[in-house]
Amino acid sequence: MDKYFKPNDMVNGYRVIKIIGQGRYGIAYLAKNNQGEKCVIKQLKSKMLNVTRDKLFYEEDILKSLDSPRFPKFISKFNDGVREGYLLEYIDGRVYYDLISKYDYVFSRKEIYNTASQLLDLIEILHSSGIVHRDIRLPNVIIMKNSKLALIDFGLARYIDGYYKEKMDYWYIGDFLIHLYYSSYEPVYAEERPWYMELNLTSQERTLLKRLMGLDRRFRSIDEIREQLYRIKSRY
């Protein structure tokens, strides 16, 4: 059983404010130091620690290797004998998951393609550094105040090799974009149908998503994805 931090608990000089999320692998808290600087405390769940301890170094190592305001900086590790985990930079902005699930935000085509372009920029940075993220989902993408996107949660990120390949991130980008298209979807049929039949997509949009998802001939590179995206964007 995991022991949770409580408000005002101190961790490496940061005071816990509140829980801001949790999942299968960890519990995330918002915290602040005496200078008013915020951070995210990522407490790793004990059950998963026993299973994945040998893989935990990836997140720390990868984040330390990145130098961009669009990815969180690694601050420090902690282990108080009961709990252990990381302190990471807090990136302020609006989370895509909240925009859709809490605020019912409807994304226009222009916004969807701007998001796609920025996601490709982020993934290109990672892939050029030999990194595949493997978790590009609504809760892990943030629109910062400068309208740029940031990508967080590198718990599943790995170095590219014979098993961990770039195409894994292509699939996640496709799935991410499908969620944005669904923000404006109004059901017409009572029975469930595949997304490529339900959504009102042009043939080029459908091709883009199918190729990203591996349902059609896969893209070979980010440049090839950009070419297809450019053709779509030129219509709007």
Is 192's pLDDT higher than 90? Answer: no
pLDDT of residue 215: 96
* Sequence-distant (≥ 6) Cβ neighbours of residue 26 within 8 angstroms: 42, 43, 44, 45, 48, 85, 155
- Residue 154 pLDDT class (50, 70, 90 cuts): very high
pLDDT mean over 58-63: 93
What is the model's pLDDT at position 56? 73
Residue 167: which of 125, 194, 127 has the closest Cα? Answer: 127
Question: Hey, CA dihedral for 132, 135, 138, 139, is it positive or negative?
Answer: negative
The type of residue at 228 is Q
Q: What is the pLDDT of residue 233?
A: 85
Whole-number percent of the chain with pLDDT over 70: 99
* DSSP-based three-state secondary structure for 47: helix
**Per-residue pLDDT at 72:** 97
For residues 1 and 208, the model is more confident at 208
For 13-40, how does the pLDDT look when each residue is reduced to its tens digit (9 = 90+)? Answer: 999 999 999 888 889 999 999 999 999 9
Determine contact, residues 77/36, Cβ cutoff 8 Å.
Answer: no
Average per-residue pLDDT in the chain?
94
Distances (CA, A) of 13 to 20, 32, 76, 228: 19, 8, 11, 48
pLDDT above 80 (res 53): no
pLDDT of residue 127 exceeding 90, the answer is yes
Q: Given 3-state DSSP classes, what are the helix, strand and coil percentages for the chain, each rounded to the nearest 5?
A: 40, 20, 40
Level-2 CATH architecture, domain 94-233: Orthogonal Bundle (1.10)
pLDDT at 190: 72
Q: How confident is the model at residue 205 (pLDDT cuts 50, 70, 90)?
A: very high
In this prediction, residue 189 has a pLDDT band, given cuts at 50, 70 and 90, of: confident
- Cα–Cα distance for residue pair 227/231, rounded to 1 Å: 6
**Is CATH 3.90.850.10 what the domain over 10-89 is classified as, yes or no?**
no
Query: What pLDDT shows up at residue 19?
Result: 97
Q: What's residue 31's pLDDT?
A: 98
Residue 50: its pLDDT value, please?
Answer: 73
Which residues, 6 or more positions from 224, have their beta carbon under 8 angstroms from its beta carbon? none
**Token output for 86:** 């990381």
Q: Name the residue ranges covered by the structural domains of the chain.
A: 10-89, 94-233
